[in-house]
Chain A
Amino acid sequence: MAAITIGALTKEFPGGVRALDGLDLTIVDGEFFALLGPSGCGKTTLLRTIAGLESPTSGSIRIGSREVTPLPPGARDVAMVFQDYALFPHMTVQENIAYPLKIRRQPRPARAAKAVSVGAQLGLDGLMARRPAELSGGQQQRVALARAVACHPSVFLFDEPLSNLDARLRLEARTFLKRLQRELGVTTVFVTHDQAEALALADRIAVMEAGRIRQVGTPREVFGRPANTFVANFIGSTPMNLLPGVVSGGRVELSGQALALPPSVADALGDGEKVIVGVRPEYVSLSRDRGDLAGAVSIVEHLGTSSLVTVEVDGLLVGATVPEDTEPEPGTPVWLTPSPARVLIYRHDDGTLVG
């Protein structure tokens, strides 16, 4: 059990690529923490630097009260699960799970007993004598988790633990992973590029872009009030509407039509200031007779229990979700009304949230 404190961490690869750029982050003891971001944002580099597989150019990492920056991976008391699970193909499931204990020179019977008990805990009984190649993807993932659990680390590091599973299994594994982390209460950092996975699993999320952290917060905060347009764009299964506009007399003009500014931000903005209005399609209601913005239906996409309707409002494309079976036909004139409490205003020049 340990908190992780990262101070001014920078990692520069040969060739001048800055994977991590002066990063500060504190991960609380026992927390399930997600590092989320697009490919190449430095999230995996950060995880590998915490593990000790990469050494930082500058900055420090503390696990609990120990300064681990100069320590090799094996001395950091962490366990890592790799994206490809990295199960040793020449060892049985039991030998794989017991491998960390073998490295610690525990006696053979103790190793076997521990491997069997951890294996049973993760639903692997009956598979202990098999080799990794004889297991399904989900079973391989559980073996990798069991191997990490068996070495009782103070921190778990998961690198895209679910991305090699098919979509259905991923949901099951997600629930399993969250329950396991709750039971063990071990500080866990996991890397993902899937925002839905991060929202579902994590206690807190750090959204990263180009080696920097753009926002740290609970899933609710990150989803409900993204701190900038990058996070707003990245989080959410349907892309957030980000509409350029200009402030004028307590309203925002969007290419010909206008929306009321949320009262909380009205004071912070002067007339003529350029802003971006952000509102999720889920928070935009669609009506055939009245509303704030008039337009015509352009595309309808089915999402299962709901549909995403893209409406053209004076040249801007605005998305709104509607329940199934109430989709309008393309070409229908409709009205859109963003839910006032859910409208977010970003500054046009740096994309930060106002208010």
Chain B
Amino acid sequence: MIPTVVRRIMFYVLVGFGTAFFALPVLWLLSAPFDDTPTYAVRPPREFTLANFQAILDNRYAVGSLVNSTILSLGTMVLVVVSAALAAYALSRAQVPGRDALIYLLLLLSSVVTGTAAMVPIFLLIFELGLIDSHFGVVLVLSGGLLPAAIFLLKDFIDTIPRSYEESARVFGASPLQILRQIVVPVARPGLATIAVWTVVQVWGSFLTPFILLRNQDKQPAAVLVRTFYTEGGSPNLGLIAAFSLIYSIPVVLMYLLAWSRYGFRFHGGIKS
């Protein structure tokens, strides 16, 4: 028998190591951008400086890549949220034979056939469509990959919204569009917000699809551009990478905080939970 005190100490030591393991990169990200000679070591800035941020502003592509990331993220988000909401609502309310099998099949295929495995056919498809080097093509491919999971999650959410809400509105004379706009969407808003944030995060961090489909560096998003930050000597430009990574991660963190404070990532509807 190990005494309770010893067991507790061991537990906290273990938790401490775990925390440190995940905290180190974050600490590096918070200190390295302000260091004039950043290394891989986590340490307070030796000489505090904002020169790294100035270097980003001077870089021809950096600011543009963040704009590209925003365009891709928001475009994919709108497409995914709107189509997933419509599909999930229909799948939740209509009696379609083989509905559940269809959803599971889509989900299975989208997770088994990963983007990497399907990259060659996708590239050929987009090439034939003449959408190489266009943001629209990337939005289409990314949406296609995210939709099955989004539909699956949203359908589960909409299933928990009592049908009596819609029926009640129907008896009062509301049209289907009014019911959707005034009842279903507001009640499903936490679910829609979750899907929206999740989509943005997925697209914001996606590398392979935009890397392959966007040849022109002016159109590449931040996740792709960051690989080009090297010094003239051919070694990674740590100052630039660190500062850019910090800027790059802020919108995602802000979005999480905003969505969390407003909706708390609930995944159920209805009054009593």
B230 within 8 A of A: no
- Beyond A90-B187, A133-B271, is A79–B171 a contact (Cβ under 8 Å)? yes
Q: Which of B178, B269, B272 is within 8 Å of A103, CB to CB?
A: B178
B164 within 8 A of A: yes
A73 within 8 A of B: yes
Task: Place the interface of chain A in its size category.
Answer: 20 to 34
- Min distance, Cβ B15 to any Cβ of chain A, angstroms: 37
Across the interface, do B164 and A84 meet the contact criterion of CB distance under 8 Å? yes
Across the interface, do B171 and A73 meet the contact criterion of CB distance under 8 Å? yes
- Min distance, Cβ B218 to any Cβ of chain A, angstroms: 43
A78 within 8 A of B: yes
B165 within 8 A of A: yes
Q: In the bound complex, how far is the Cα of B168 from the Cα of A157, in angstroms?
A: 11
Q: Which of B167, B170, B173, B183 is within 8 Å of A88, CB to CB?
A: B183
Q: What does the 1/0 interface line of B103-125 toward A look like (CB < 8 Å)?
A: 00000000000000000000000
In the complex formed, the residue of A with least CB distance to B270 is: A89
In the complex formed, the residue of B with least CB distance to A144 is: B168
Q: In the bound complex, how far is the Cα of B162 from the Cα of A115, in angstroms?
A: 24
B86 within 8 A of A: no
A99 within 8 A of B: yes
Across the interface, do A51 and B271 meet the contact criterion of CB distance under 8 Å? no
A200 within 8 A of B: no
Residues of A with C-beta under 8 A to B164: 82-84, 86
Residues of A with C-beta under 8 A to B167: 53, 73, 80, 82, 86
Q: Which of B171, B174, B270 is within 8 Å of A52, CB to CB?
A: B171
A87 within 8 A of B: yes
From 125 to 148 in chain A, residues with beta carbon under 8 angstroms from any chain B beta carbon are: 132-133, 140
Across the interface, do A133 and B168 meet the contact criterion of CB distance under 8 Å? no
Known contacts A82-B168, A140-B271; can you find 11 more A-B pairs with CB under 8 A?
A51-B171, A52-B170, A74-B170, A74-B172, A80-B171, A84-B162, A86-B167, A87-B271, A89-B187, A102-B182, A157-B171
The 3 closest A-B pairs by CB, nearest first: A74-B173, A86-B164, A86-B168
Task: Give 8 CB contacts A-B under 8 Å.
Answer: A72-B170, A74-B172, A79-B171, A86-B164, A86-B167, A90-B186, A102-B182, A103-B172
**Interface residue ranges, A against B (CB under 8 Å):** 51-53, 72-76, 78-80, 82-84, 86-90, 99-100, 102-104, 132-133, 140, 151, 157
**Interface residue ranges, B against A (CB under 8 Å):** 162, 164-165, 167-175, 178, 182-183, 186-187, 189, 269-272
